[in-house]
């Protein structure tokens, strides 16, 4: 009997029990729904996108994989450069003037190579910063995939090495020596990719589209190119830009003597390869590379990385290291050498630094 003489009817008991069950069902179903949502957000959906290849958990990238993609990007860009030149559909136009007042050329080869190289690298490593000489038009986006393969020579010489993605900056030059390209001086033309970690160049790729030669190197890793073994430090062969030969020649010959050889050439990539042991019949040989004016970092980063990997040096004309972060230009000119006393070279050519500011 209920307290105080109150008697509960069977119908009332049934209603009370049903209300209690309803409350419990509402609470428990909400808990299950929350757990299900958490599970769906925590686990990748079946068939959905996975972590990009080359980007390990924690936002890291494998430099060996990035080297492989960089080589492929330089080659793919070079294919566009060669195709446009051989088809004679350059559509060359002026895109502006250099600080020295010379017109800078832009061709279809620059644009198509840039698109191919940029989207291949960005597709494989979406988290890294990429700086390119040419502007990337998002309306003209191209899907260029990497099949995740690593060439055997890279596998044999380079060990996997992960670095934080935020420390990486990639510099690409889709067509180095555009002026010479328009003049059909094909031997000077290269496509280049450089990887800098915390501002220091660690991977360099220089590809010559018209001979299919590719040089690559990774600092503290390995390379497929070597330095030349013979140099003449007393009367070096100095390679310079075609437009700078007169500026450098007078100072160099006053310093090293009248027998000093000045080699005018196009393209920063070509000039760095001149310091190396390159099996190319159209590749000139030099002991020192000098540039006496402002130059963009995508022109020199790949060559800087290759030289560093082989024990060489590329600095400003006053001997300062070049950082590959921040602005895209290097104000202090440059001097590059390998297997030579780099500091002594700088001390012998003090007047070149003054020339770089004229």
Q: Which residues are catalytic?
A: 110, 178
Pairing of strands 237-241, 288-291: parallel
DSSP state of 56: E
For the chain, the distance separating the N- and C-terminal CA atoms, rounded to the nearest angstrom, is 110
Q: Which segments within the chain are labelled E, that is strand?
A: 55-56, 60-62, 93-97, 103-106, 129-132, 162-164, 168-176, 190-197, 200-208, 213-218, 222-223, 226-227, 237-241, 261-265, 276-277, 288-291, 295-296, 313-315, 329-330, 334-337
Q: Is 175 annotated to bind ligand?
A: yes
Binding site annotation covers 111? Answer: no
Residue 299 marked ligand-binding:
yes
Q: Indicate the DSSP class of residue 322.
A: P
What DSSP state is assigned to residue 52? Answer: P
Residue 154's CB is within 10 A of a number of other CB atoms, namely 19
Contacts (Cβ under 8 Å, ≥6 apart) of 88 = none
Rg (CA), the chain: 30
Q: CA 206 to CA 270: how far, in whole Å?
A: 8
Q: Is 62 annotated as a binding residue?
A: no
Secondary structure (3-state) at 251: helix
Give the C-alpha separation, 134 to 128, whole Å.
18
* 275 marked ligand binding residue: no
Q: What's the residue count for the chain?
A: 358
Q: Are 208 and 280 in contact (CB under 8 A)?
A: yes
> Is the CB of residue 277 less than 8 Å from the CB of residue 339?
no
Q: Return the bridge partners of 335, or none.
A: 290, 315
Q: Is residue 236 within 8 Å of 188, Cβ to Cβ?
A: no
Q: Binding site for Mg(2+), residues?
A: 133, 173, 175-176, 299
Q: Binding site, residues?
A: 133, 173, 175-176, 299
């Amino acid at each position: 009997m209920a307290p105080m003489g109150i008697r509960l009817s069977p119908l009332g008991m049934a209603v009370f029990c049903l209300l209690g069950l309803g409350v419990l069902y509402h609470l428990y179903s909400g808990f299950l729904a929350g757990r299900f949502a958490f599970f769906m957000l925590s686990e990748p959906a079946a068939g959905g996108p996975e972590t990009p290849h080359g980007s390990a958990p924690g936002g890291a990238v494998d430099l060996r994989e990035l080297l492989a993609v960089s080589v492929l990007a330089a080659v793919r860009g070079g294919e566009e450069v060669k195709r446009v030149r051989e088809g004679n559909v350059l559509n060359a136009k002026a895109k502006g003037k250099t600080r020295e007042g010379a017109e800078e050329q832009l061709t279809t080869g620059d644009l198509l190579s840039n698109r191919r190289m940029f989207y291949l690298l960005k597709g494989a490593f979406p988290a890294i910063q990429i700086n390119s000489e040419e502007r990337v038009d998002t309306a003209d986006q191209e899907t260029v995939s990497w099949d995740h393969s690593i060439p055997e020579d890279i596998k044999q010489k380079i060990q996997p090495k992960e670095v934080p993605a935020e420390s990486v900056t990639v510099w690409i030059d889709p067509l180095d020596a555009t002026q010479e390209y328009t003049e059909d001086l094909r031997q000077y033309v290269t496509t280049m990719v450089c990887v800098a970690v915390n501002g220091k160049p660690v991977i360099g790729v220089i590809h010559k589209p018209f001979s299919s030669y590719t040089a690559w190197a990774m600092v503290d890793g390995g390379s497929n190119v070597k330095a030349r073994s013979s140099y003449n430090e007393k009367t070096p062969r100095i390679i310079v830009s075609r437009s700078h030969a007169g500026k450098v020649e007078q100072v160099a010959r006053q310093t090293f003597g009248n027998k000093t050889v000045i080699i005018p050439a196009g393209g920063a990539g070509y000039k760095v390869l001149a310091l190396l042991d390159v099996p190319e019949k159209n590749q000139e040989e030099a002991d020192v590379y000098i540039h006496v004016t402002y130059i963009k970092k995508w022109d020199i980063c790949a060559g800087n990385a290759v030289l560093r990997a082989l024990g060489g040096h590329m600095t400003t004309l006053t001997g300062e290291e070049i950082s590959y972060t921040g602005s895209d230009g290097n104000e202090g000119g440059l001097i590059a050498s390998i297997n030579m006393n780099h500091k002594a070279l700088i001390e012998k050519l003090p007047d070149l630094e003054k020339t770089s500011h004229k």
